Amino acid sequence: MTGELSPIDKAKFVAAKRAVDFVEDGMRVGLGTGSTAAWMVRCLGEMVRDDGLKIRGVPTSTRTAALAREVGIEVISLDEARWLDLTIDGADEFDGDLNLIKGGGGALLQEKIVATASDQMIVIADVGKEVETLGAFPLPIEVIPFGWQTTKALVEEMLISMDVLGRNVTLRMNGDAPFVTDEGNHILDLHLNRIGNARQLSMVLNQVPGVVENGLFIDICDVVVVGYGDGRVETRDINEGTVQTDRLDFVESENLFADLDD
């Protein structure tokens, strides 16, 4: 129940709750992956159940698909949808230009494909995800398993000429084995500390053989909804240049939220 949430979970919840106001009946909606996006999926499920909202959701991971079905959202593939009205997703970091680092949950490839196939991308985040310059959060890149050590070496060599503070690259693990994405790939995490030119880095990374995609989302996000632990919500629209502040009151919720597993 929302009354039992920590301040950071309250911030995630109010951001998600505010963002679903953008969803209208009949829309095709991209459903993001991660702890904040899970709140959003639950909120949409509540609207489907209680308000009769009719939408079709395109999940960005198998776990989001499972959660969407659990809460009663009709799930379709991106190929079936072809194009989306909007995507709502979280972020690991965002800056003042609404550029993002995503992929902490390992779903960056599907997330980027779905986001770019949408008329609008809305990012939901707690205020702690806002940064002046991207890079404190490790930048994930998805790489194919074949020759991943060679790919890692090529990335490390490439980073020497980039405007970054750190160049440590690690293979993401799942226990004793490499983490495997929904597409059967691995994730390399780039510990850069600060990224001076995110646009340049994104383009150069995707030229490295073996790299499938990187977690820099440049000029993709249109709106960020920022949640605070006291219930305040700030909606920033990069295209309109507007900032709107609201406050959501916490009420005791039914078990739709009680069993949320982040």
Does 215 count as an annotated binding residue? no
* Maximum pairwise Cα distance, the chain: 54
Helix (H/G/I), strand (E/B), else coil: 124: strand
Does 118 count as an annotated binding residue? no
Q: At what angle do helices 35-51 and 7-19 cross, to 10 degrees?
A: 50
Which tokens belong to 22? 């953008």
Does 104 count as an annotated binding residue? yes
Does 35 count as an annotated binding residue? yes
Does 34 count as an annotated binding residue? yes
Catalytic residue among 4, 74, 93, 111: 111
Helix (H/G/I), strand (E/B), else coil: 112: helix
How many Å apart are CA 231 and CA 182, to the nearest integer? Answer: 34
Helix runs in 107-194, H state only: 108-116, 148-159
Bridge partner residues of 80 (DSSP): none
Does 242 count as an annotated binding residue? no
Query: Is 93 assigned a catalytic role?
Result: no
Does 89 count as an annotated binding residue? yes
Does 153 count as an annotated binding residue? no
Does 151 count as an annotated binding residue? no
Asked if residue 37 lies in contact with residue 255, where contact means CB atoms within 8 angstroms, the answer is: no
Phi-psi region of 180 (alpha: psi -120 to 50; beta: other; left: phi over 0): beta
Residues with catalytic function: 111
Output the known binding site: 33-36, 89-92, 102-105, 129
Output the known binding site for substrate: 33-36, 89-92, 102-105, 129
